[in-house]
Each structure stands twice: as C-alpha cells, then as structure tokens.
C-alpha cells in the first residue's frame, strides 16, 4: 500500500488518525481506539519515502534539519490531513490527523445554545480548551463558519498549520499559516491589529507573547478565539496567568477579567452505538466571574458555574449526565468521565497541603442526577442500535 491508499482507507473507515511507525503495521484510530491494518509491516525507510512523496522540497529540508515537522496536505477536494512527521529510535514516523473538508454546523454538532451566543459577540476573548483530540478545532470551525455566513466581518486566522479552510461568504476570511505565511504567532498577531480584523482566531495560545497579544486584541475591541490544553475553566485561567512573571500577574488578571467572555472546556466521549459525542463545561464571563478572576479566587469559579445555568453555564457533570439521560453514552463511559472531572476539581481546589489533608480520601464521583435539573439518569438505558449511513448527519466530530 502507498500513502494515498492508506489515507483513503482511513477516510473510508471513518478513522480520525493514521499512525505510521517503523517495524509496525499501519494503525488507524477509529472511535477513539487504535486498530491495526492487516498489511505488511512498514520499515522506517518506507515511511520516509511515503512522507517525502507528500512533502515539498522546503518541508523535506526542515524535516531533515529538525527531525520533526508539522504541515497539512490535501488529497483532492474531499480530503485534508494535518501531519506531524517525527523521528523515533527506529527512524521516520508520522501521524496523519483527518480534517473534514465539510465544516459541520453547530446544529450538526449539537452544541449548547450559549456557544452560538458567544460566537455572535462583538468583542472579548473566547477560549475552547481540552486535551489533544477533544474536538476543539471542530467546535471553533463551526463557530467561525456561523460568523462567516451571518456577519459582514473580517475574520483573520493564525494557525500552525491551517486546518479548516473557510471560503469567504458574508465575511472576508484570511488564513495565515505559521511557517509559510508568517514567521510566528507573535508577529502575525502584531500585524493583525493593523489589518482591520473583526474576529481573530489564534490556533494555539502557547507562550507569553501570543497570550499577551491576544489579550490586548480582545481589550481593544476585537472578538478573539483561542485554544489551550487545559481541562477546566479554572485551570484555563490559571494557565493564562501563570505564563506571565510575578510582577505582571495582577495586571494580567485585570486584563483577563475585563476581556474574557467565555471558556468552553470540551471532552469527546464514546457514543453508544458508535461514533463520539462532545461534553462541555461552559463558563460565561458574568460580573461575578470577572470579580473572582480579578481577586484571584479561582477555586470559587466551579461553584459559580454550578449556579449559573440562567447564563448558559454548565459543569462537565451536568453535560455528561444529560448525555446519559438521553442514551447517547453508556453508564460506564459516564462514570469514567465523572471520575476524571471530580479529580480535576479536587486538584484545582486543593490547598498546598492537599484537598483532604494527609490521609483523607477523595469523595466518590457523582453518579446520580443532574445537580441543576434534578433529573436522574434512566436506569440501565437500552443501548441504541448503530446508526445507518442514512441516519448520520453530514460533518461531525472527526476526532
């Protein structure tokens, strides 16, 4: 099999990632699980040849110099992949991430209504967070697509690499790719403030300069979207502030409190019957939340989310319980996610000596009922039958 056949196999089987590693068969991730392709074992030299067949001369030179490289490729009109080529002890290796060319709508992703309201704001900072592969890019793409269809705005994206391509509709969309179209996120964001944007998408807020410029852009009347690798709203705020030196933290808290409009912490769960579905913790930048950020009372943010349903806020537990009640996830999947959410909450709220003292055991994860609605999950909900091809909506979470 050549690389084109492997990529086509990944698409045909609705895989999210294709893994190539020396002395292994090709491996595809389908619905979150790795599955080997029944073919010959690949050598590192074969993988290197496959990579060079889809790289430009410049990309080959970067890969040989740095031993790793990020780039994106397209195969026709219906297939696009984000590629990380790297080197391990066996030699060349790579992971190809599938990027849907058809951008899903918010309705197809079944996003909560508050996410649409966040997309329709005129200014401020909206962050979509979660671990790698949690669907952050897909959620952001649906939000940008909504703006592109509805408003006559200038949308500027800075990504590494560009994932979803948006054709200009009602809005004008300009994509800039780090490495090809700009030298760095920082330089692109400095230029962005002179390019008359209404909306700025920052592919990843990973360093002091990028985060500082994003905060400045949000403060100066732009709507800024960004991503971070954090699991909860409180951890996201902490991560942003911790990037700055101690002397600047108070100023940054003030900037963040005045500009933050919402934080969406996202996780992808295995869907009963196949596929995956997103669960969200959503924090909205109300006056009370802004005061907590300004006063560095981040441990209280979770309580504010619990009681903020009238603003569209919800905890991860609320979201998972709702998915369980509707039969979209199984009790086993829900319990696993709720356990992780409880551990994250305890870690975030624990004082220096620990959340429960030296010997205290953490409380068990909540398993029954939604704390806001009082609903109880249906007992032993029947597993829904797998969807047929006709049942499945176009688009959706690819990873």
DSSP string, 202-232: ES---SHHHHHHHHHHHHTT-EEEEEE--SS
* Residue the block writes with tokens 């953490």: 362
- pLDDT band at residue 392 under the 50/70/90 scheme: very low
Per-residue pLDDT reduced to its tens digit, 203-241: 888 889 999 999 999 999 999 999 999 999 999 999 999
Do the beta carbons of residue 262 and residue 285 sit within 8 Å? yes
Rounded Cα distance, 348 and 234, in Å: 7
Per-residue pLDDT reduced to its tens digit, 55-77: 999 999 999 999 999 999 988 77
Find, among 324, 332, 340, 333, the residue nearest to 376 by Cα.
324
Give the percent of the chain with pLDDT over 90.
69
Helix (H, G, I), strand (E, B) or coil at 53: helix
The token pair that represents 343 in the structure block: 């551990």
User: What's domain 3-99's architecture?
Assistant: 2-Layer Sandwich (3.30)
> How far is CA 220 from each of CA 26, 143, 210, 224, 354, rounded to the nearest angstrom?
48, 21, 15, 10, 40
pLDDT > 70? residue 46: yes
- pLDDT band at residue 338 under the 50/70/90 scheme: confident
Q: What is the mean pLDDT of residues 249-257?
A: 94
pLDDT > 90? residue 288: yes
The CB-side HSE value for 192 (13 A sphere, CA atoms) comes to: 35
pLDDT score, position 180: 86
pLDDT score, position 382: 42
- pLDDT band at residue 349 under the 50/70/90 scheme: low
Per-residue pLDDT reduced to its tens digit, 169-195: 999 999 999 888 999 999 999 999 899
Q: What is the mean pLDDT of residues 327-347?
A: 80
Per-residue pLDDT reduced to its tens digit, 133-167: 888 999 999 999 999 999 999 999 999 888 899 99
The token pair that represents 334 in the structure block: 């829900």
DSSP 18: E
CATH of domain 106-349: 3.40.50.300
Rounded Cα distance, 202 and 172, in Å: 17
pLDDT > 80? residue 352: no
Find, among 54, 56, 59, 61, the residue nearest to 79 by Cα.
54
Centroid of chain to Cα 236: 13
Domain boundaries, the chain: 3-99, 106-349
Provide the strand spans (E) within the chain.
17-20, 27-30, 33-36, 69-74, 80-88, 91-99, 124-129, 154-159, 172-177, 199-202, 223-228, 260-270, 276-284
Rounded Cα distance, 215 and 291, in Å: 17
- pLDDT band at residue 32 under the 50/70/90 scheme: confident
């Amino acid at each position: 099999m050549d690389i084109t056949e492997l990529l086509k196999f990944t698409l045909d089987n609705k895989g999210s990632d294709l893994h190539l590693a020396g002395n292994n068969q090709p491996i595809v991730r389908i619905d979150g699980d790795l599955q080997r392709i029944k073919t010959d074992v690949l050598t590192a030299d074969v993988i290197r040849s496959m990579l060079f067949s889809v790289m430009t001369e410049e990309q080959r030179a970067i890969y040989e110099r740095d031993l790793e490289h990020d780039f994106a490729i397209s195969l026709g009109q219906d297939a696009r992949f984000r590629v990380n080529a790297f080197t391990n002890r066996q030699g060349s290796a790579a992971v190809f991430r599938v990027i849907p060319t058809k951008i899903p709508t918010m309705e197809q992703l079944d996003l909560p209504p508050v996410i649409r309201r966040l997309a329709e704001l005129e200014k401020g900072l909206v962050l979509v967070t979660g671990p790698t592969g949690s669907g952050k890019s897909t959620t952001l793409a649906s939000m940008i697509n909504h703006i592109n269809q509805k408003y006559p705005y200038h949308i500027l994206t800075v990504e590494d690499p560009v994932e979803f391509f948006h054709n200009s509709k009602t809005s004008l969309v300009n994509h800039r790719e780090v490495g090809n179209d700009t030298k760095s996120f920082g330089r692109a964001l400095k230029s962005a403030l002179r390019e008359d944007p209404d909306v700025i998408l920052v592919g990843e807020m990973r360093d002091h300069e990028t985060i500082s410029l994003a905060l400045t852009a949000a403060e100066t009347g732009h709507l800024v979207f960004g991503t971070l690798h954090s699991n909860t709203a409180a951890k996201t705020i902490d991560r942003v502030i911790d990037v700055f030196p101690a002397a600047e933290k108070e100023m940054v808290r003030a900037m963040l409190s005045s500009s933050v409009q919402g934080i969406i912490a996202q996780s992808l769960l295995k869907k009963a019957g196949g596929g995956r579905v997103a669960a969200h913790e959503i924090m909205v930048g109300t006056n009370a939340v802004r005061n907590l950020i300004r006063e560095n009372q981040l441990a209280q943010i979770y309580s504010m989310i619990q009681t903020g349903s009238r603003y569209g806020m919800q905890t991860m537990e609320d979201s998972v319980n709702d998915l369980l009640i509707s039969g979209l996830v199984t009790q086993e999947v829900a319990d696993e996610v709720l356990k992780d959410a409880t551990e994250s909450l305890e870690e975030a709220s624990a004082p220096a000596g620990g959340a429960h003292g030296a010997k205290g055991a953490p409380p068990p994860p909540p398993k029954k009922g939604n704390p806001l609605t009082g609903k109880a999950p249906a007992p032993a909900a029947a597993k829904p039958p797998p969807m047929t091809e006709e049942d499945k909506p176009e688009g959706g979470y690819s990873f």
